Amino acid sequence: MELPEVEVMRRDLEKEVVGRRIREVEVRPQRNAMRIIRRHARRKEFSDRLAGKKITKVDRKGKYVLLYLDGGDVLVVHFGMSGQFLRGTKRQVLPQHTHIVIEFQQGGDLRYVDPRTFGELFVTSVGELGTIRELDHIAIDPLEDTFTWQQFSNELARRAAKLKPLLMDQRFVSGLGNIYSDEVLFAAGLRHDRMSDSLSSQEVRRLYRAMREVIQDSIRFRGTTLDDEAYVDLFGKPGEFQTELKVYGRRGLACRRCRTPIVVEKIGGRNSYYCPQCQS
């Protein structure tokens, strides 16, 4: 799950679970379930910190979702490669790989499903959030209003790195994975192997604008769901941004802008899709 999918999930959770009180939490007796709540010594320790609490707010920091609870605790969620929340009711069969079920007093539940178990859930206090290393990053968040193109320009010049790996670096930008970095670079008209300190002021502005627009468009289309259907939203529905992709996964197909065939190159073990005519 990348930044757009995490933000879609945050917005859905904000509408669906804020104001609901948790009746009980079940960490299911499945293989690797404890890996998901690995910061807690026992299932009961995790469940007891959530039972009886009301969800008051849902926030996001990078690719982490924060569910604030009355009483001063926060449920911190990182979905990893295959984790997701699904809304459900007792009448609905639990999907395979459901590791945690959060049941609400008002009815219905929230299921945490994670086939590969690289995701993580843990409860901490609001006061301790600042001590969590993973949340204490200074990566650029393309959705934040405080993110200015001047700040972006300074960081690009300072890093002096190839654009594609740099955009995928979670210490530089939050949540731009393989798909969105290719789409952003196409929208900006820049090749994946351009050096970040070689960009003109105009190119920096194009890249800055492309990054914000691609992310906002993908959220509007509720994320990208590829053929593996690894991502669905809170209600089990696929995203629709895959129909809008300009280069990713379109090897050999005509560029939607100039009709030149899209090419792909291996960069650091990942495929990088681009138009040799539109990107320079």
Confidence check: pLDDT of 137 > 80: no
Reduce the DSSP state of residue 240 to 3 states and report it.
coil
| Cα–Cα distance for residue pair 194/8, rounded to 1 Å | 31
- Altogether, the residues listed in the chain come to a count of 280
Q: Kindly indicate the confidence band of residue 134, based on its pLDDT and cuts at 50, 70 and 90.
A: confident
What is the set of domains in the chain, with CATH numbers? Answer: 3-135 (3.20.190.10), 149-274 (1.10.8.50)
pLDDT of 194-233, one tens digit each?
Answer: 999 999 999 999 999 999 999 999 999 999 999 888 899 9
H helix intervals, the chain = 3-17, 33-36, 43-48, 149-159, 163-168, 178-188, 201-220
The answer to whether residues 159 and 138 touch, using CB atoms and an 8 Å cutoff, is no
Confidence of residue 238 (pLDDT cuts 50, 70, 90): very high
Output the average pLDDT for the chain: 94
Q: Average pLDDT for residues 14-38, to the nearest whole number?
A: 94
Percentage of the chain beyond pLDDT 70 is: 99
Residue 165 has pLDDT above 90, yes or no: yes
- Compute the chain's Rg from CA coordinates: 20
Q: Which amino acid is at 107?
A: G
Region 269-274 average pLDDT = 92
Structure tokens at 250: 């379109």
The distance from CA 122 to its chain's CA centroid, rounded to whole angstroms, is 18
Angstrom distance (rounded) from CA 202 to CA 171? 24
| Rounded CA separation 235/46 (Å) | 25
Q: For the purposes of burial, counting CB atoms within 10 Å of the CB of 164, is it exposed (0-12), middle (13-18) or buried (19 or more)?
A: buried
